[in-house]
Amino acid sequence: MKQQRRSVLIVGGGIGGLTAAVALCRRGHAVEVVEQQPGWPAVGWGLSLTGPALRALDSIGLAQQCMDAGYPMRGIRNCDTAGNVLHEIEPPSLLGPGRPVIVGLGRPALSRVLRTAAESAGALLSTDAELVDLTFRADDVRAVLGDGTERIVDLVVGADGVGSRTRSLIGIDGKPSFLGQYVWRTMVERPDWATCTHTFNAPRHASGLTPISPEHAYIFSTQNVAQVSHLSGEALLAEFREVLAPLEGWMAGARDAVDDPDAIVRRPVLGLLVDGPWHRDRAILIGDAVHTCAPHMISGAALAIEDAVLLAEHLDGPGPLEEALSSFGRRRLPRAKIVVEASSTMSGLEREHRYAEEHVVQEAAFAALAKDA
């Protein structure tokens, strides 16, 4: 049967939206991505792409480009505050023997790889373009943007993150919950010993270092707090130093050298899982819009990337659109549950400083995620 080529509006030019643009264009669909920010967002310095993310990127020909733009690694080294190794995790290699297991990558670099691939596959990418309204009609959907222009398309993909406007416009419930931690990031020069992610488990907060290129790495911390608060300027800097206070050796020197509050990213850790249909009529949600997790499993981006690639596959099926969207959601929900639940369990264990148990949960979840998406 001849496959149906559709017009698709993707809301959100983050990791999920741009990956979906590549995957859908490669299958012949006509795609526009609208991103509300004036430029391409890449907040948070860097991230880790785990095996499932690399496997899904490999299926659309982009894993090698991410490795070239980032820092390929074999695993995670869990240490005490002085850097003595207590435990090592080497997740299963999903790209095959001898190939990297995880890649640390700058967010701007990942965004560039995805944008270049999306544009060369034929996607139209627009910034300063915010979705503000959606109306389902008999044979299509009408989307209205902030500048008053409209798009009439066959399908809207809401890849607009944890606060998804698409989600509320189509009436799918989802309220993220605060998980009692803040996550911190800042960029530093990569020391020679940082050839993989290191965590440093302190009595109060966990911190670590992830290389993202031969030159750079980012420091990360998760801080246990009672409630959401706002911090900026000198207060932000002082709090970050306090969180990193127990670290010794090279990390202590790096902590003392951090002097620019604008270079520090601080975000509340949120959790969300939409445990029902991820679509309504001609609109479907992917990525953080339906599953947001604590960063402990370093797998939120992996889920968004897998969603994007598998949605494109499902749309190639011979049945009606409704069937494709339903079967996509049914297939993805159990996998999202693995990550959201493991991340939340890890976050809870970390709040109680039960690091050894946290590593066991992480290894088990990595093994579960090694199975086909």
Ligand X SMILES: Cc1cc2nc3c(=O)[nH]c(=O)nc-3n(C[C@H](O)[C@H](O)[C@H](O)COP(=O)(O)OP(=O)(O)OC[C@H]3O[C@@H](n4cnc5c(N)ncnc54)[C@H](O)[C@@H]3O)c2cc1C
- Helix (H), strand (E) at residue 120: helix 107-120
CA distance 306 to 373: 7
| Minimum separation from the CB atom of position 268 to ligand X (A) | 9
Q: Is 101 in the site for ligand X (CB under 6 A)?
A: no
Contact 12, 29 (CB under 8 A): no
300: contact with ligand X by CB under 6 A: yes
**Helices 300-315 & 321-351 angle (0-180, nearest 10):** 170
Q: Are 8 and 308 in contact (CB under 8 A)?
A: no
Q: Round to whole Å and give the CA distance between 277 and 327.
A: 10
Q: Is 165 in the site for ligand X (CB under 6 A)?
A: yes
In angstroms, rounded to a whole number, what is the distance separating the alpha carbons of residues 169 and 314? 24
Indicate whether 288 belongs to the interface with ligand X (CB under 6 A): yes
**Of 264 and 325, CB closest to ligand X:** 264
Q: Name residue 67's amino acid.
A: M
Report angle CA 27, 92, 79 to the nearest 5 degrees: 125
Residue 16 CB, nearest distance to ligand X (Å)?
Answer: 3
Residues from 2 through 41 that contact ligand X (CB under 6 A): 11-17, 34-37, 41
Q: What are phi and psi of 204, to 5 degrees?
A: -105, -45
Unique residue bearing structure tokens 């959907």? 141
Kindly state whether residue 44 participates in binding ligand X, applying the rule CB under 6 A: yes
Selected from 204, 267, 330, 337, the binder of ligand X by CB under 6 A is: 267
Minimum CB–partner distance for residue 3 and ligand X (Å) = 26
Looking at the Cβ atoms of 147 and 323, the one nearer to ligand X is 147
Judged by CB under 6 A, which of 21, 131, 237, 369 binds ligand X? 131
To the nearest whole angstrom, how small is the minimum distance from the Cβ of residue 234 to ligand X?
22
State the number of binding residues for ligand X (CB under 6 A). Answer: 33
Q: In the complex, which residues of this chain contact ligand X (CB under 6 A)?
A: 11-17, 34-37, 41, 44, 47-48, 130-131, 159-161, 165, 183, 185, 267, 287-288, 295, 298-302, 304
